[in-house]
Amino acid sequence: MPELPEVETTRRGIEPHLAGRRIAAVAVRQPKLRWPVPADLAEQLVGQRIGAVLRRAKYLLIPFPAGTLLMHLGMSGSLRIIQGDEPPGYHDHVDLVLDDGRALRLHDPRRFGAVLWVNGDVTVHPLLAGLGPEPLSDAFDGDYLYARSRRRRAPVKSFLMDGRVVVGVGNIYANEALFAAGIRPDRAAGRISLARYRRLADEVKRVLAHSIEQGGTTLRDFVGGDGKPGYFKQELLVYGRGGESCKLCRELLIETRLGQRSTVFCRRCQR
């Protein structure tokens, strides 16, 4: 479910309900996520007051004086605010119970998500230390992409989805941004001009920012922290449309596989 816009939508949805609250209890019904949920999580969190909910890449971070709660939604995770007496359903693995009788509940069928406690400076944690710039920051632009891509033979789509290059560009938005920029996803990253990378960086920013405005892309049952679905899906131009006709030129869209990921493009509009 979650790409960057969905994670950001979640962050915006839950933060107002968490800020200022103290954590009254922690319930872990299934500790086997991507990594084990720490057995001493409650000891770190109970009694602590939440100030803010931050995001770095697709990680959600809740900082405390002694360390940071780090969460990731993986492929199928979602977070929502519930009334504390709502009984947990199947795949409702973790609750952070708040002092106002509500709770933050993690639901994650595939369990690729994570809930970790990081002591001290979270930015030097191995999961975060090597990450590339945020796509919506000024550090990410066409000149940066061009410089990082020289002599790289991997497909530009794989390059764009590499978190060490830039974070937060998942499969949906990589497909969409490459279509918008008119670049074939299987072109070698090192063989694309500066001008075209400038266009690509602009389209990545535009597509992500617009999707965040729409509340993310709802596939299956994603809902933001406020329970509202995302509205971006209806605007997807290529993702999930393999075999259908291009909305710009009517050519049949090609669906292939790059780096094990479903890839859709138009061979007329993208070169």
Give the active site residues: 2-3, 58, 261
The structure tokens 């596939």 sit at: 219
Alpha carbon distances (Å) from 55 to 193, 229, 253:
32, 20, 34
Stretch that binds DNA, among 40-48, 81-89, 92-100, 168-176 (CB under 7 A): 168-176
Stretch that binds DNA, among 61-69, 107-115, 138-146, 196-204 (CB under 7 A): 107-115
Pick the closest to residue 91 from 111, 117, 71 (CA basis).
111
Amino acid identity of 95? D
Site string for DNA, 52-91 (x = CB under 7 A): -----xx-------------x-xxx-------------xx
Phi first, then psi, for residue 66 (nearest 5°) are -95, -15
Is 21 an interacting residue with respect to DNA (CB under 7 A)? no
Pick the closest to residue 176 from 252, 241, 260, 251 (CA basis).
241
Amino acid identity of 238? V
Q: Which is nearer to DNA, 23 or 216 (CB)?
A: 216
Query: Which residue intervals of the chain are DSSP H helices?
Result: 4-18, 41-45, 126-129, 142-149, 156-160, 171-181, 194-213
Q: Collapse the DSSP code of 211 into the 3-class scheme (helix H, G, I; strand E, B; otherwise coil) and give the result.
A: helix
**Residues of span 215-254 touching DNA by CB under 7 A:** 217-220, 222
Is 172 an interacting residue with respect to DNA (CB under 7 A)? yes
Among 171, 206, 231, 237, binds DNA (CB under 7 A): 171
CA–CA separation, 156 and 145 (whole Å): 10
Site string for DNA, 125-164 (x = CB under 7 A): -xx-----------------------xxxxx--xx-x-x-
User: What's 65's DSSP letter?
Assistant: S
Site string for DNA, 86-105 (x = CB under 7 A): ----xx--------------
In whole angstroms, the minimum distance from the beta carbon of 114 to DNA comes to 9
Q: Which is nearer to DNA, 133 or 190 (CB)?
A: 190
Among 12, 22, 28, 262, binds DNA (CB under 7 A): 262
137 φ/ψ sector (left φ>0, alpha ψ -120 to 50, else beta): beta
In whole angstroms, the minimum distance from the beta carbon of 86 to DNA comes to 19
Phi first, then psi, for residue 186 (nearest 5°) are -95, 5
In whole angstroms, the minimum distance from the beta carbon of 217 to DNA comes to 6
E strands, 73-205, in order: 78-83, 92-98, 102-107, 114-119
**List of residues contacting DNA (CB under 7 A):** 1-3, 6, 32, 34, 57-58, 72, 74-76, 90-91, 109-112, 126-127, 151-155, 158-159, 161, 163, 170-172, 189-190, 217-220, 222, 259-262
